Amino acid sequence: MKSKITAICFLLLLFGLTIFSIFKPPTIFSEKENRYLEQKPVFSFSSLLDGSYSADYETYLSDQFPGRDQWIRIKSMNEQLLQKKDMNGVYLGKDQYLIEQPDRTVFESSQSQKNIDCLSDFVQRQTSHLGQSHVQVMVVPSASQILTEKLPLFASPYEEERFLSSVRSSVGDDHFIDVTPTLSSHQQEYIYYRTDHHWTTLGAFYAYQQWANSIGISPYAQNDFTIKTVSDSFYGTIQAKVNLPVSPDSMNVFLPNFPITYTVTYNESEPAKDSLYEWDALKIRDKYRFYLNGNQPITHIQTSSDSGRNLLVIKDSFANSFIPFAANHFDQTVVVDLRYFNGDGQALIDNYHITDILVLYQASFLAKESSVIQLNRWQ
């Protein structure tokens, strides 16, 4: 005979959680996971018949489950108890580093090859207009490739080098900025966030120096800037995946000691601003939006520089903390995020008299982002 107490406890929990989950008001947006949560699907016979209703309902229930974040933490803590060194695609590294595991399937997908081909065509086309060394590609490896000493014992993440060298040979050595050695030589420094997949401003700074040298610009040094900590309570997206209690990251900004002014216009229409930074973003969870107001379809930066050169950056979010360094050397910097940009790219190049192009992506984004093939239309 088994104890009835278990049965009673089970029933109480089962019915309690059921009632709670039915009457809990829905959450629209999860700041923690930085995404919109699934809402209760609307019932229709067609959606029931094609199976989308049940699939949506399942996502809805897990997204809106009462105490969702706590449940995720319970799971992660249990996995920790089992001595697991990775969970939900995240390594639990040393010194409270949470490091994303690169996904082999992403790099070996057909999308990845398509993107490389498309990128190399784009580089060739633009080089014929702008000239050698004016079109550059920078692909940033993920933290797992650089912070090897922070990885758990024996961890052997997929080698993104295979992908990087394939990009390199496609676009050509002269067009490829290989930041891996540079970043690796600084791996003891705070160049990647511990709780977020992005590089820190310092990481971006080292990459900026290398890029500037390669296109014949003499980069500013660290002491040309005043480094200021703008937040010490930043929790990034990787932390949300495991929701383990780790200490937050701090975010820095490099404020120029040299005279320069900026006029920043988002999406060619919004009111102009005089700062590259969105200070209000520091009050919300997604603090990375601080840099250039997060991911905007198109951003235009006019500076007081007088170099006669105009830069176009085609990028993902890794560039957001990089562009504040690059912009200092150009009269105008135009930033395009292909995920959100639908306009005529070639017209941009002509209208703004672009002289230099930088394509800046994080490796796995370049491999999986289907919007990269839109570059085929830029001609």
Partner 1 sequence: MVFSSLPFLFRFLPILLILYFLPTGFKMFRPWLIAWKNSILLIGSLIFYAWGEPVYIVLMLFSTLVDYSHGMLVNHFKNSSSANGRKKAQLAVLSSVLINLFLLGFFKYSDFLIETINRITGLSLFSPNLPLPIGISFYTFQTMSYTIDVYRGDAKVQKNLIAFGTYVTLFPQLIAGPIVQYKTIADQLTDRKENWDSFSYGIHRFLIGLGKKVLLANTIGLLWDSVRAIPQAELTTLSAWIGIFAFGFQIYFDFSGYSDMAIGLGRMFGFHFLENFNYPYISKSITEFWRRWHISLGTWFREYVYIPLGGNRKGLPLQIRNIIIVWLLTGIWHGADWNFLFWGAYFALLLILEKGFLLRFLSRIPSFFQHCYAVCAIAVGWVIFSFEDMEKGFYYLSAMFGFSDAGFLNRESLYFLTNYGVLFFLLLFGSTPFFARFLPKLLNRIPSGIGMLLEVTAYVLIFLLCTAYLVDATYNPFLYFRF
86 in Cβ contact with 155 (< 8 Å): yes
Task: Measure the CA–CA gap between 289 and 58, rounded to whole angstroms.
Answer: 31
Q: Which is nearer to partner 1, 34 or 250 (CB)?
A: 34
Residues 253-312 that bind partner 1 (CB under 8 A): none
Applying CB under 8 A, among 154, 173, 229, 283 the residue interacting with partner 1 is 154
Query: Could you give the 3-state DSSP secondary structure of residue 190?
Result: coil
DSSP 96-107: G-EEEPP-HHHH
Q: How far is the CB of 247 from partner 1 (least distance, A)?
A: 22
Q: Residue 347 interacts with partner 1 (CB under 8 A)? A: no
Question: Residue 83 interacts with partner 1 (CB under 8 A)?
Answer: yes
Nearer to partner 1, 62 or 247 (CB): 62
Q: Which of 73, 213, 163 is nearest to 366 (CA)?
A: 163
The stretch near partner 1 (CB under 8 A) out of 10-18, 176-184, 217-225, 342-350 is 10-18
Determine the length of the chain: 379
Give the binding range for partner 1 (CB under 8 A) out of 54-62, 112-120, 258-266, 330-338: 54-62
Q: Which of 27, 31, 44, 105 binds partner 1 (CB under 8 A)?
A: 105
Greatest extent of the chain over all pairs of C-alpha atoms, in Å: 86
From first CA to last CA, the distance across the chain in angstroms is 77
Q: Residue 64 corresponds to which amino acid?
A: Q
CA dist., res. 359 & res. 139, Å (int): 8
User: Minimum CB separation from partner 1 for residue 364, in Å?
Assistant: 15
Residues near 332 by beta carbon (within 8 Å), at least 6 away in sequence? 300, 301, 302, 303, 310, 311, 352
Tell me how far, at minimum, the Cβ of 166 lies from partner 1, in Å. 15
Spatial separation of the C-alpha atoms in residues 43 and 53, rounded to whole Å: 7
Contact 360, 319 (CB under 8 A): yes
Query: CB under 8 A: which stretch of 68-76, 248-256, 315-323, 352-360 binds partner 1?
Result: 68-76
Considering only the stretches 74-82, 134-142, 165-173, 200-208, report the one whose residues sit in contact with partner 1 under the rule CB under 8 A: 74-82
- Choice from 2, 28, 43, 221 touching partner 1 (CB under 8 A): 2
Residue 283 burial (10 A CB sphere; 0-12, 13-18, 19+): exposed
Is residue 4 a contact residue for partner 1 (CB under 8 A)?
A: yes
Residue from the set 32, 75, 125, 186 that interacts with partner 1 by CB under 8 A = 75
Contact window for partner 1 (CB under 8 A) among 50-58, 112-120, 160-168, 284-292: 50-58
Applying CB under 8 A, among 57, 339, 371, 373 the residue interacting with partner 1 is 57
By beta-carbon proximity to partner 1, the closer residue of 66 and 172 is: 66
One-letter-per-residue 3-state SS of 336-353: ECCCCCCCCHHHHHHHCC
From 184, 190, 213, 177, select the one nearest 319 (Cα to Cα).
177
Among 32, 85, 125, 129, binds partner 1 (CB under 8 A): 85
Residue 19 CB, shortest distance to partner 1, in Å, is: 9
- In 3-state terms, what secondary structure has residue 128? helix
Q: Nearest distance from residue 130's CB to partner 1, in Å?
A: 39
Residue 229 burial (CB count, 10 A): 9
Does 247 contact partner 1 by CB under 8 A? no
**Residue 238 vs 319, nearer CB to partner 1:** 238
Q: How many residues bind partner 1 (CB under 8 A)?
A: 45
5 part of the interface to partner 1, by CB under 8 A: yes
CA 27 and chain centroid, separation: 24
94 binds partner 1 (CB under 8 A): no
Q: Which is nearer to partner 1, 273 or 368 (CB)?
A: 368
> Positive or negative, the Cα torsion across 371, 366, 31, 76?
positive
**In the block, residue with structure tokens 């105490």:** 67
Strand, coil or helix: 362 = strand
Binding site for partner 1 (CB under 8 A): 1-7, 9-11, 13-15, 17-18, 21, 48-49, 51, 54, 57-58, 61-62, 65, 68, 71-72, 74-75, 78-79, 82-86, 88, 104-105, 152-156
